[in-house]
Chain A
Amino acid sequence: MATEHSRTAARLMVSPAVILLFLWMIVPLGMTIYFSFLRYNLLMPGMESWTGFDNYYYFINQPSFWAALTNTLLLVGGVLCITIFGGVALALLLDQPFKGQGIVRVMVIAPFFVMPTVSALVWKNMFMNPVNGMFAHIAKALGFQPYDFLSHAPLASIILIVAWSWLPFSTLILLTALQSLDREQMDAAEMDGANWINRFIYLTVPHLTRSITVVILIQTIFLLSVFAEILVTTNGGPGTASTNLPYLVYAQSLLNFDVGGGSAGGIIAVILANIVAIFLMRMIGKNLES
Chain B
Amino acid sequence: MGQITLSAVTKTFGDVNVIPPLDLSINDGEFVVFVGPSGCGKSTLLRLIAGLEDFSSGKIMIDGKDATDAPPAQRGLAMVFQSYALYPHMSVRKNIAFPLKMAKLSQAEQDKKVDNAARILNLTNYLDRRPGQLSGGQRQRVAIGRAIVREPAAFLFDEPLSNLDAALRVTMRQEISELHQTLKTTMVYVTHDQVEAMTMADKIVVLNAGRIEQVGSPMELYRTPANLFVAGFIGSPKMNFITGAEAAKHGCHTIGVRPEHIEVAPGGIWQGTVGLAEHLGSDTFLKVRTETVGELTVRVSGEMNLHHGDRVSLGPQPGKIYRFDENGKASA
Give chain A's interface residues, CB within 8 Å of chain B. 182, 184-185, 187-194, 198, 202-203, 206-207, 290
Contacts and interface: CB of A to CB of B under 8 A. Distances in A.
B102 A188 contact: no
Contact of B77 (A185, A191, A290): A191
B120 interface: no
Contacts of A192: 73, 98-99, 102, 146, 150
8 contacts: A187-B50, A187-B72, A188-B79, A188-B85, A190-B71, A191-B50, A193-B103, A194-B102
A206 B91 CA distance: 13
Contact of A188 (B51, B81, B132): B81
B89 A184 contact: no
B138 to A, nearest CB: 17
Interface in B59-87: 71-73, 77-79, 81-83, 85-87
A185 B87 contact: yes
Given A198-B102, A202-B98, A190 B85 contact: no
Contacts of B71: 190
B52 A189 contact: no
Interface in B279-322: none
Given A191-B99, A203-B87, 4 more contacts: A187-B72, A188-B79, A192-B146, A198-B102
Nearest to B52: A187
Contacts of A190: 52, 71-73
B325 to A, nearest CB: 43
A143 B241 CA distance: 86
A193 B74 CA distance: 8
Contacts of A198: 102
Interface residues of B, number: 25
Interface string B80-118: 011101110110000000110011000000000000000
Nearest to B156: A191
Given A193-B102, A193-B103, A206-B89, A184 B81 contact: yes
Contacts of B78: 191
A201 to B, nearest CB: 11
A18 to B, nearest CB: 35
Closest 10 CB pairs of A and B: A193-B73, A188-B85, A192-B99, A184-B85, A193-B102, A206-B89, A184-B81, A185-B85, A194-B102, A191-B72
Nearest to A187: B52
Nearest to A185: B85
Interface in B125-148: 132, 146
B121 to A, nearest CB: 17
Nearest to A192: B99
A192 B104 CA distance: 12
B81 A187 contact: yes
Contact of A187 (B85, B103, B150): B85
A190 B77 CA distance: 11
B286 to A, nearest CB: 42
A193 B85 contact: no
Given A198-B102, A202-B98, A191 B79 contact: yes
Nearest to A205: B89
Given A192-B99, A192-B146, A182 B52 contact: no
